[in-house]
């Protein structure tokens, strides 16, 4: 996602920490929204299966819905590292800048695509030009 940029930048730790926290909070919000959407879909499927069983109809025992994806621990690790760092400024490569500031991780497209069926926010971001390959 960061292309061929070979630069580094030094950022005040508190500014970087704020950025990663904001990105983590948005990520968590998307995950929780997706989880609620997933649960609603599962309940709807199970209700239909129960009605079919009670009516004596055959049912498909398989529920093939992907679980919402959550990468919150990735953010938590970065946040903890920054909090424990004694440095006042942090030097970032272009790749780390892309992850920590722009919130474009190697798994971002997968995260958005996986959660899009359950989350309007993920759906909007997944179709955004900023997250296209």
Residue 117 falls inside a structural domain: yes
DSSP H helices in 55-101: 72-84, 94-100
Its domain, for residue 43, covers 8-131
Number of domains present in the structure of the chain: 1
The per-residue pLDDT for range 13-53, each reduced to its tens digit, is 999 999 999 999 999 999 999 999 999 999 999 999 999 99
Residue 1 falls inside a structural domain: no
Residue 15 falls inside a structural domain: yes
Residue 27 falls inside a structural domain: yes
The rounded distance, in Å, linking the Cα atoms of 37 and 117 is 8
Please say if the pLDDT value at position 1 is more than 90.
no
Residue 3 falls inside a structural domain: no
The per-residue pLDDT for range 105-133, each reduced to its tens digit, is 999 999 999 999 999 999 999 988 877 65
Predicted structure pTM score: 0.87
């Amino acid at each position: 996602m960061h292309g061929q940029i070979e630069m580094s930048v030094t950022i005040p730790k508190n500014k970087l920490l704020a950025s990663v926290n904001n990105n983590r909070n948005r990520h968590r919000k998307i995950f929780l929204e997706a989880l609620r959407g997933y649960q609603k879909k599962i309940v709807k499927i199970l209700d239909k299966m129960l009605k079919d069983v009670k009516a004596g109809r055959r049912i498909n025992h398989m529920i093939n819905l992907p679980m919402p994806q959550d990468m919150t621990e990735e953010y938590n690790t970065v946040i903890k590292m920054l909090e424990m760092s004694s440095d006042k400024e942090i030097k970032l490569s272009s790749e780390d800048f892309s992850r920590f500031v722009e919130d474009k991780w190697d798994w971002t497209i997968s995260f958005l695509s996986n959660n899009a069926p359950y989350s309007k926010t993920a759906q909007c971001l997944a179709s955004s030009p900023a997250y296209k390959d």
